[in-house]
Amino acid sequence: MNGFEKHGIDHLSASSINLWSNAPDVWVMSYLFKKRTPMGPAAWRGICSEDAVVAALTGSQSVEEATQSALDKFDKRFIIGDEKTTKERDVIAPMVANAVEALKDYGKPEFPEDGSQHKISITAKGEGWEIPVIGYLDLVFPESGMVIDLKTTNRITQVMSAEHQLQRAIYQKAMGNYGVKFLYVSKAKSLMLEDGDVNEILANAKHKIARLEKFLSACDAETARAIVPVNPNTFYWSGSEALREEMYGF
């Protein structure tokens, strides 16, 4: 039995690999103890905005109707009035407009018949183990042969983060002849990026996965909790301090 089987982990994803690299304490809590940090207003703003962009691009709603639906969805989850929440709500409309404008020439995106996202999978293999690495595609444009992942952000950088480069590399490996790009959208502008060498990134990810498998092979859940380094200062714990104290005692 390998480390993944030992702990009932049947797949990984870009987000889980990135979390293991950046915050192993949060990874142990999330995947071995099944406790998750709550979704904040920025993440929910992204989901609401992306749903509106899909509705507008597929023609199921006008941009105006889709934007209003996004605002209504946001309002059902968060009480308006908090400064941080209001800030995120206020950028939904311009983000939707900028994204639709940037994507309008790619054709109509295609989705599975049930309306879900396209699921992709590649397999990572090592000594005595193998595990699927899965992902879900935001937008597949058959007419232009493109997969585009939409990232709403309050600040656009000129180079994709290492975390996003891994996500793109997994999508590119799985999608063969399709191009894969990430569209970054703020309230002011948009930028299309496709950074990183796919083979190099995936080789590096395999090393991370192999080390995770060895860690899991060596530890039961309680031992992992007792020995994993804990960093209370990372953004992952923001708003989840009580959960961290419950897990790690401080």
Quick: pLDDT tens for 117-146. Answer: 999 999 999 999 999 999 999 999 999 999
Do 48 and 122 fall into the same domain? no
pLDDT in tens, 34-72: 999 999 999 999 999 999 999 999 999 999 999 999 999
Question: Domain for residue 75, yes or no?
Answer: yes
Out of 106, 126, 156, pick the residue that ends a domain: 106
- Give the CA dihedral 25, 31, 32, 35, nearest 10 degrees: 80
Is residue 24 included in any domain, yes or no?
no
Q: What is the pLDDT of residues 171-227, one digit of tens each?
A: 999 999 999 999 999 999 999 999 999 999 999 999 999 999 999 999 999 999 999
Does 155 map to a domain? Answer: yes
Tokens 């691009």, located at residue: 57
Whether residues 97 and 124 fall in one domain: no
Range of the domain at 91: 41-106
Two structure tokens written together for 197: 């060498």
Q: Are residue 54 and residue 118 in the same domain, yes or no?
A: no
Q: Which of 106, 127, 147 is the last residue of a domain?
A: 106
The predicted pLDDT at position 115 comes to 86
In a domain, 170, yes or no: yes
What does the pLDDT look like over 12-42, one tens digit per residue?
999 999 999 999 999 999 999 999 999 999 9
Stated as kind and residue range, the H or E segment containing 136 is: strand 129-137
Q: Is residue 134 part of a domain?
A: yes
Radius of gyration of the chain (CA): 19
Q: Are residues 212 and 118 in the same domain?
A: yes
Tell me whether residue 121 is in a domain: yes
CB 138 within 8 A of CB 148: yes
Q: Are residues 97 and 158 in the same domain?
A: no
What's the token pair of residue 246? 């419950």
* In a shared domain, residues 90 and 135: no
Q: What is the CATH number of the domain that holds 152?
A: 3.90.320.10
Return the pLDDT at 82: 85
If asked whether residues 147 and 212 sit together in one domain, one would say yes
Which run of H or of E encompasses 201? helix 198-218
Helices 14-22 + 198-218 axis angle, to 10: 70
Same-domain check for residues 45 and 92: yes
Q: Does residue 56 sit in the same domain as residue 139? A: no
Q: Are 62 and 125 in a shared domain?
A: no
Q: Does 8 map to a domain?
A: no
Q: Decide if 46 is inside a domain.
A: yes
> Same domain, yes or no, for 207 and 149?
yes
Q: What is the dihedral of CA 186, 192, 193, 194, to 10 degrees?
A: 140
> Are 88 and 152 in the same domain?
no
Please tell me whether residue 52 adopts helix, strand or coil conformation. helix
Average pLDDT of the chain to the nearest whole number: 97
Boundary-marking domain end, from 56, 72, 106: 106
- Name the 3-class secondary structure at 143: coil
Q: How far apart are CA 244 and CA 216, in angstroms?
A: 21
Number of domains in the chain: 2
Predicted structure pTM score: 0.96
